[in-house]
Structure formats: structure tokens, C-alpha cells
Amino acid sequence: MEKEKAVERAKTYLSMLLNGVHPVTGQSIPEDSALMDEKVKNCFAFLIETLDDYGALCARVEQMEKKQEELTVVVQKKLDFAITHEQCESIALSKEPLTVLSFMKNVNAVIDAQSMEKLSSTRINKWLVDGGWILPSTVQTVVNKTVYKPSETAEKIGIFEEQTVDKKTGEVKSQVKLSQSAQLFIIENLESIVKEK
């Protein structure tokens, strides 16, 4: 705002000088003054035009900034994953064995994913590793990849390994699967899983 006032004042002074009036005293400038030289007056006219262009540019920038503010969507940071007892009760259990990733979709289906982070399969796998139910091992491929194998105790709660064929590559892969009892076991322990980071 201060800059706009300064620009308007400068334009007023230049216009007065161009018209032969001293901007501070208000007195006429003599015709034989160097300020009344045609080249100097042309410079005054050019500066007035330049200041007009500058003012118009400033106005356009201000309009664009206002539009940008109107269009700006404030994305609030999502809350950490949390789940209530009632939500746990409503998680769909599958009679067919599921991968950890598929089971996570069932868990995340009962929370408000718009405002809350989803529970990741990585957190579940970490909890299962920490509990000794699955064992990680590194497989040499183009990129080193961690795969999981169920431990002996895992089978007692319904975590097992199943061979599957990759539909895209035809490659036979091993996958950890969760039976219905293993899914329920994880649901019963979601509170301690959530506490772990």
C-alpha cells in the first residue's frame, strides 16, 4: 500500500512538472528553465506512462494473488491411525485366507481414511516379526527384496505359507496368508500394534 501511494505521488509530481508547475511550491516554472526543455518533458511523459504500466501490473498481480488464495485448498495433516473397539468389531473377517495386504484393506475400510492415516501392512509385518510369528529373509533379485516366512508358532494361530502363481510373469511365489483365526488374532491385538511405531 505504501508503494502504491509513492507511485501515485511520483506520477502527480511528474505531471505537474510536465505542465510547468513546481510540485512543492505550486509556482510556475519559467519557460527558459532546463526542466521545461522538450527532451526533459518527454522523459517526464515516459516516466508517467511507465508508472501507469507499473500500477496496472501491480493491480493484476494483486488480483492473481487473491484468486490463488481463493483456489488454494488447505490440506490438513491426517491424524495418526487409531481404531475404536466398535470399529474392530466391524472389521470383515474372510473365511478364505488373505494376504496381510488384503487384510489391511478390511481394517482400513472401517476407519475415516479422509482424516486419518491408514494402517500399513508394513506395521503389521513388523509386529508379526517382533512377536516371532513370521521371519524375514532377503531374496536376491534385481533389487534386494524382503520376504516373510511363517515360524512354527505362527501355524498354531493360522498364519501359513502358500505358493501362488504371478498372473503377469507366471512366476511361482510364496506368500504369507492369514486364516480367519489369524485375522481375528491380529484384530484382538490391534491396540498394541497401533501403539508401536
Q: Which of 29, 49, 71 is the last residue of a domain?
A: 71
Which residues span the domain enclosing 43? Answer: 2-71
Q: Note the pLDDT tens digit of each residue in 147-175.
A: 888 888 888 899 999 988 878 887 778 88
Q: Note the pLDDT tens digit of each residue in 68-97.
A: 888 877 777 888 888 888 999 999 999 999
Whether 77 is covered by a domain: the verdict is: no
Q: Which of 71, 97, 121 is the last residue of a domain?
A: 71
- Reported residue count of the chain is 197
The Cα-based distances of 197 to 15, 83, 192 in angstroms read: 69, 15, 10
Report helix, strand and coil shares of the chain as percent, to nearest 5: 50, 15, 35
Q: Which of 71, 106, 127 is the last residue of a domain?
A: 71
Q: Are residues 101 and 131 in the same domain?
A: yes
Domains identified in the chain, total number: 2
Amino acid at 47: L
Q: Are residues 174 and 90 in the same domain?
A: yes
Report whether pLDDT(139) > 80. no
Q: Are residues 32 and 66 in the same domain?
A: yes
Q: What is the mean pLDDT of residues 124-143?
A: 83
Residue carrying the nine cell digits 524382503: 146
